[in-house]
Chains A and B, each alone.
Chain A
Amino acid sequence: MASEIKQGTLELVNHLPILQVITPMLIAPILVVLNNKTLSWLLSFVGTLACLFISILLVQAVSDGSVLTYYLGGWIPPIGIEYRIDAANAILLFLISIISAIVLIFSYSSLYAEIPEEKHTLFYSCFLLCLTGLLGVVATADIFNVFVFLEISSLSTYVLVAQGAFLDRRALSASFNYLIMGTIGATFFVIGIGYIYMATGSLNMIDIAERVSQLGDNRTIQAGFAFIVVGMGLKLAMVPLHVWLPNAYTFAPTVVTCFLAATATKVALYVLIRFVFSVFNYEDNFVNELFFLLLMPLAVIAMIAASVIAIFKQNLKKLLAYSSLAQIGYMLLGLSLMSQKGLASSLVHMVNHGFTKAALFMSLGAFMLNTKNVYIKSLRGLGKSMPFTSGAFVIGGLSLIGVPGTAGFISKWLLLEAALETGYWLVAVLIIASSLFAVIYIWKIIEVLYFSDSSESYSEVGALILMPIWILALFCIFLGINTSLTVDVANMATEILFK
Chain B
Amino acid sequence: MDSNFSFIYGHLPYWLFIILMLSGLFIVVSRGNLIKKIVGLNIFQTSVFMFYISIGKMKGGTAPILLDKSADDSAVIYSNPLPHVLILTAIVVGIATTALGLALIIKIREEYDTVEEDDIQKMDQKDLKKYNRNNVLETNS
Contacts and interface: CB of A to CB of B under 8 A. Distances in A.
Contacts of B96: 151, 155
Interface stretch (A24-32, A103-111, A180-188, A302-310): A180-188
Nearest to B24: A187
Contact of A165 (B55, B111, B137): B111
B114 to A, nearest CB: 11
Interface in B25-63: 25, 28, 34, 37, 41, 44-45, 48, 51-52, 55
Interface in A313-351: 314-315
A197 interface: yes
Given A170-B124, A314-B136, A375-B135, A151 B111 contact: no
Interface stretch (B4-12, B66-74, B101-109): B101-109
A373 B89 CA distance: 42
A173 B28 contact: no
A155 B97 contact: yes
A147 B25 CA distance: 20
A388 interface: no
Given A148-B93, A373-B131, A377-B136, A180 B41 contact: yes
A180 B51 contact: no
B86 interface: yes
Nearest to B101: A179
Contact of A144 (B28, B41, B86, B124): B86
B15 interface: no
A173 B120 contact: yes
Given A159-B100, A173-B108, A198-B55, A187 B135 contact: no
Nearest to A314: B136
Contact of A377 (B52, B93, B135): B135
B135 to A, nearest CB: 3
B140 interface: no
Contacts of A191: 21, 48, 51
A71 interface: no
Interface in A360-380: 373, 375-378
B55 A158 contact: no
A184 B25 contact: yes
Nearest to A202: B82
A176 B48 contact: no
A400 interface: no
B2 interface: no
Contacts of B97: 151, 155, 179, 183
Nearest to B80: A201
B40 to A, nearest CB: 9
Nearest to A376: B137
A162 B107 contact: yes
A165 B111 CA distance: 9
B137 A176 contact: no
A194 interface: yes
B5 to A, nearest CB: 21
A235 to B, nearest CB: 14
A177 to B, nearest CB: 9
A190 B120 CA distance: 31
Nearest to A190: B48
A414 B83 CA distance: 43
A172 interface: yes
Contacts of A377: 135-137
B83 A197 contact: yes
A448 B41 contact: no
A179 B111 contact: no
B90 interface: yes
A251 to B, nearest CB: 10
B111 A158 contact: no
A197 B56 CA distance: 10
17 contacts: A144-B86, A147-B90, A148-B89, A155-B93, A158-B104, A162-B104, A162-B107, A170-B124, A172-B108, A172-B111, A172-B112, A173-B108, A176-B104, A187-B48, A314-B132, A315-B131, A377-B136
Given A191-B48, A315-B131, A375-B137, 12 more contacts: A155-B93, A172-B107, A172-B112, A173-B124, A183-B41, A184-B41, A184-B44, A197-B55, A314-B132, A314-B135, A373-B135, A375-B136
